[in-house]
Amino acid sequence: MDTILVTNAGSSSVKFEVFGVNQAGGLSGQLEGKIEGVGTKPHLTAKSAEGKVLVERTYTNETVPDVPAALRTAASWLRDELHIHPIAVGHRVVHGGSEFDQPVLVTEDVLRRLERYIPLAPLHQPHNLEPIRSIMVNRPGLPQVACFDTAFHRKHPAVADYYAIPESFHAEGIRRYGFHGLSYEYIAARLPEVAPDIAKKRIVVAHLGSGTSMCALKNGQSIESTMGFTALDGLPMGTRAGQIDPGVVLYLIEQKGMSPHEAQRLLYHDCGLKGLSGVSNDMRELEASSDPRAAFAIDYFVYRIALFAGTLAAALGGLDAFVFTAGIGENSAFIRTRVVAKLSWLGLKLDEAANAGGKQLISAPDGAVGVYVIPTDEELMIAQHTLALVKGS
């Protein structure tokens, strides 16, 4: 059976998933794994689609010193022990800028162009590109596909895409991009199966995880997003501040004497739930904590979700459905309860038993707006795009 390998690389980890391609061209997950702790204590784990543990192995820092080495280690394990030889590799790449509005087969030229967006996504872009560069060197004939978190939002109307700055800056690429597009694209594709009556109507999707954003869907297309030029904007996240007055950044640099690099590090690594609570960036720990700062961080998180939901409903001209997805959205019944309560004015009403039971439809029968929990699958989306490009090339 042909297989597609999907990778998602971070600063100290590489996640991967293998999909099998059946004779009809359909995809099915075969296994998923990760090497984490790169730079400290590299550790490879993987399990089959049925949940069986396939490997649990620790390496030395000398053996796996960086992310490219982690990818080579995972690839060697797949090849030598499981005899998996993928026909192509699909990669999550956070930023495609204004020029990449759909997935693309990677060439040296494409890679060079994607490197220009590193300053716009410093937490993600350089790490996303490292495996691509490594495979180019070690497996130059293996097709690679870059799939972008920004691409799904590229059809926004101009009024949603612009900042109120001179046109020359917009032409250079300073505009609102939006992120988590692969997740929203997957949800848009699932809605006709889950809720065909509202799939093409006015929907707000809340991607609530370590990275957090919301998106307004209409006719299955993104028309507005809470994130903008970078993945710092919008909702508060695990360690990122979310929406903040640009004057705060100027103040940090001019009055507090921070360098741009120090300000960047603060806003990406020490803010959000972590900064507000002083306890943790993990919602599970915040929910379990008795510290009043943890409770305040949760209050703030819920308040901002409700605030942006109103903004997106205004962009849509009303609301027909609300979808929770990603780690917090899929797993925290508590956060869902709090958010729905805040949005009762929009017609949301919770079925508490369905919510507690982890059901897909969690709105009460007499609620005016359908409320759903739909697990996202960005990896499957990447695999589908990769297979389509490889078969079509």
Q: Residues with catalytic annotation?
A: 149
Q: Kindly state the DSSP code that residue 24 receives in the 8-state scheme.
A: T
Cα–Cα distance measured from residue 162 to residue 174, given in angstroms and rounded to the nearest whole number: 8
Give 243's contacts (C-beta < 8 A, 6+ positions apart): 226, 233, 234, 235, 304
Cα–Cα distance measured from residue 291 to residue 277, given in angstroms and rounded to the nearest whole number: 8
341, containing H or E segment: helix 333-342
Cα–Cα distance measured from residue 337 to residue 206, given in angstroms and rounded to the nearest whole number: 14
Cα–Cα distance measured from residue 149 to residue 264, given in angstroms and rounded to the nearest whole number: 21
Cα–Cα distance measured from residue 206 to residue 184, given in angstroms and rounded to the nearest whole number: 9
Cα–Cα distance measured from residue 292 to residue 284, given in angstroms and rounded to the nearest whole number: 15
167: number of Cβ within 10 Å? 8
- Amino acid residing at 328: I
Cα–Cα distance measured from residue 199 to residue 205, given in angstroms and rounded to the nearest whole number: 12
Q: Taking the CA atoms of 159, 162, 168 and 173 in sequence, report the sign of the dihedral they define.
A: negative
Cα–Cα distance measured from residue 321 to residue 195, given in angstroms and rounded to the nearest whole number: 10
Cα–Cα distance measured from residue 7 to residue 224, given in angstroms and rounded to the nearest whole number: 27
- Amino acid residing at 370: G
Cα–Cα distance measured from residue 363 to residue 199, given in angstroms and rounded to the nearest whole number: 16
